Amino acid sequence: MRSDPIETLLATDFAAAAAELENDGFTALVLERLTKAQMTRQALIWIAGGAGALIAGAQFAGMTRLFSPLVAAMDQTPALGAAASNLATNAVAPQLFAAAAIAVAFAATALVLQGER
pLDDT (tens digit per residue) in 32-85: 898 898 888 888 888 887 888 788 777 777 777 777 777 677 666 666 666 665
Residue with more model confidence, 25 or 79: 25
Residue 55's closest CA among 102, 100, 95?
Answer: 102
Backbone φ/ψ region at 41: left (φ over 0), alpha (ψ -120 to 50), beta: alpha
Q: What is the mean pLDDT of residues 3-8?
A: 81
Least confident residue range of 9-18, 63-72, 86-95: 86-95
Q: What is the mean pLDDT of the chain?
A: 76
